[in-house]
A and B are shown apart, each in its own frame.
Chain A
Amino acid sequence: MSLWEYANPKKFTETTARVLPVVVPLAGACLLAGLIWGFFFTPEDYKQGSTVKILFLHVPAAMMAVNAWIMMLVASLVWIVRRHHVSALAAKAAAPVGMTFTLVALVTGALWGQPMWGTWWEWDPRLTSFLILFLFYLGYIALWQAVENPDTAADLTGVLCVVGSVFAVLSRYAVKFWNQGLHQDSTIMKVGEKDPLDPAYYWPLIFCLAGVVLMFVALVLLRTVTEIRLRRLAVIEAREKFE
């Protein structure tokens, strides 16, 4: 029983069909619980008022924006090294999801920043990094769409993802160097340090994070299965044309 068994499209599709009915309700429940708890049953911040509660959307989205790219990097490496088609298709399936999370993080950040900093947009290193990450997603998706042969597309986007990751990290440090920024540091891991996240916010945020992770898993599984079916369709069509 090896993990690589799930690289078989048929096995992957079957497993997904069994996993999804569990993951989807769980994701919905976590998100609903976290958001309702967070929006209606937590105290308001003494400085930020109720605007602070956008963090229940902003933080999970920002986290997944980065994690989705990391997942794509891992999937691309698996494809390049082990040539599992499902892995390449999973990377392809994750890209629009990750791009959407990036967009959500940017928009919620702007909505939060307006009352807090008095501006919709600030060339803050974190904001700028996310904007650049958005461009990376855009290029990655555009390359997938531009190349006709699916295996060639998988190879090229895989190489782009690996090289792009290196440059994304470089950009992150370059941008930090370029502007010191307004954005507060992440507080979620700062239990016991100064300026910690209010404990009243901690649990609803954890629920939201779990919900978004599960939602990401569900979406990627679903989209990967769709991609597998599209590939299967293409192979069948090509074979019919060939005969």
Chain B
Amino acid sequence: MIALLLRDLRIAFRAGGGFGLGLAFFLLVAVLVPLGVGPEGGTLARIAPGILWVGALLACLLSLDRIFALDFEDGSLDLLATAPIPLEGVVAVKALAHWLVTGLPLVIAAPVLGVLLHLPEAGYGWLVVSLLLGTPGLSAIGAFGAALTVGLKRGGLLLSLLVLPLYVPTLIFGAELVKRGAAGMAVQVPLLLLAGITLGAAALLPFASALALRINLR
């Protein structure tokens, strides 16, 4: 399993691996929104939590189809399915690799983009916390969507259509956590619910994803 994680990370960081694309996309969203909305600091500060969360979510979505599609095309997935590690483990490790490559950089970059959007000072800590808690869930849910659509020729658009509704609870609680944190309100409820969804998704969805993969491989 560790070997699989290392391999996925190595591929992602080599040329053509797509590392940084999500991050660049996140930056673009944070630049384009003020250009569209207007430069008033008050407006931006009010919508900053939502924009940052939507941007992170879309940046995550961008690279989901790579989780399984490449391994499916070159036959690695067949071989992994017959290897001694359980397919559920393969899914979990690949979702983890996706998070390390896509989600974690977003978490680290988010405060910088928060500056661009005039996020209130009290919000920075909660922004990092919310993304740290939420983005692993996005990767786990995304891996499920990727597993459903892995055998399809035009799976990319369908993948977005399937995954985005599943992202709704994470988005709501994540953005709400930042909003409340920035306004100095109590954050316990969204914090716990966000953590709960991510933990639940990480614990249970690999089974559904592995099932979907097995269906797609036969």
| Chain A residues in the interface with B (C-beta under 8 A) | 132, 135-136, 138-139, 142-143, 146-147, 152, 155-156, 159-160, 162-164, 167-168, 170-171, 173-175, 177-178
Nearest-Cβ distance from residue B114 to partner chain A, whole angstroms: 21
With A159-B212, A163-B205 in contact, is A132–B154 under 8 Å at CB? no
Per-residue contact bits, chain B 177-218, to A (CB 8 Å; 1 contact, 0 not): 000000000000110010001000000010010011001101
Q: Does A177 lie within 8 Å of B205, measured CB to CB?
A: no
A162 — which chain B residues lie within 8 A by C-beta?
A: 208
Q: Does A142 lie within 8 Å of B161, measured CB to CB?
A: yes
A177 — which chain B residues lie within 8 A by C-beta?
A: 172-173, 176, 189-190, 193
> How many A-B pairs with Cβ below 8 Å?
76
Q: Which B residue's beta carbon lies closest to that of A80?
A: B211
Q: Does B152 lie within 8 Å of A163, measured CB to CB?
A: no
* Residue B144 is within 8 A (CB to CB) of chain A in the complex: yes
Q: How far is the CA of A178 from the CA of B189 in the complex (A)?
A: 11
Q: Does B166 lie within 8 Å of A146, measured CB to CB?
A: no
A178 — which chain B residues lie within 8 A by C-beta?
A: 172, 176
Q: A139 touches which one: B162, B205, B215 (CB < 8 A)?
A: B162
Instruction: Please name 13 further chain A to chain B contacts, defined as beta carbons within 8 Å, in addition to the given A156-B148, A178-B176, sorted by A numbering.
Output: A132-B165, A135-B164, A135-B165, A136-B165, A138-B161, A146-B152, A147-B151, A159-B215, A167-B168, A174-B193, A177-B176, A177-B189, A178-B172
Q: Does B208 lie within 8 Å of A170, measured CB to CB?
A: no
Nearest-Cβ distance from residue A69 to partner chain B, whole angstroms: 12
Among A135, A138, A160, A167, which residue has the most Cβ atoms of chain B within 10 A?
A: A167
B158 — which chain A residues lie within 8 A by C-beta?
A: 139, 142-143, 146
Q: Which A residue's beta carbon lies closest to that of B175?
A: A178
Q: Which A residue's beta carbon lies closest to that of B154?
A: A146
Q: B216 touches which one: A132, A156, A163, A167 (CB < 8 A)?
A: A156
Among B158, B166, B173, B205, which residue has the most Cβ atoms of chain A within 10 A?
A: B166
With A155-B215, A156-B215, A159-B208 in contact, is A139–B165 under 8 Å at CB? yes
Q: Does A175 lie within 8 Å of B172, measured CB to CB?
A: yes
With A143-B148, A146-B154, A152-B215 in contact, is A160–B169 under 8 Å at CB? no
* Residue B149 is within 8 A (CB to CB) of chain A in the complex: yes
B34 — which chain A residues lie within 8 A by C-beta?
A: none
Q: Which of the four size classes fits the interface of chain B?
A: 20 to 34
A160 — which chain B residues lie within 8 A by C-beta?
A: 148, 162
Q: Which A residue's beta carbon lies closest to that of B215?
A: A155
B164 — which chain A residues lie within 8 A by C-beta?
A: 135
Q: Does A152 lie within 8 Å of B169, measured CB to CB?
A: no
Q: Which A residue's beta carbon lies closest to that of B164?
A: A135
Among A136, A164, A175, A177, which residue has the most Cβ atoms of chain B within 10 A?
A: A177
With A143-B148, A146-B154, A162-B208 in contact, is A174–B215 under 8 Å at CB? no
Q: How far is the CA of A160 from the CA of B152 in the complex (A)?
A: 15
Please give me the 5 A-B residue pairs with the lowest Cβ-Cβ distance, nearest first. Answer: A174-B169, A174-B172, A170-B169, A135-B165, A155-B215
Q: B161 touches which one: A139, A152, A159, A167 (CB < 8 A)?
A: A139
Q: How far is the CA of A173 from the CA of B173 in the complex (A)?
A: 10
B215 — which chain A residues lie within 8 A by C-beta?
A: 152, 155-156, 159
Q: How far is the CA of A143 from the CA of B152 in the complex (A)?
A: 10
Q: Which B residue's beta carbon lies closest to that of A137?
A: B165
Q: Does A156 lie within 8 Å of B212, measured CB to CB?
A: yes
Q: Does B161 lie within 8 Å of A147, measured CB to CB?
A: no
Query: Can you list 19 pairs linking A and B with CB atoms under 8 Å apart?
Result: A135-B164, A138-B161, A142-B161, A142-B162, A143-B158, A143-B162, A146-B152, A146-B158, A152-B216, A152-B218, A156-B148, A156-B215, A159-B211, A163-B208, A164-B166, A170-B168, A174-B168, A174-B173, A174-B193
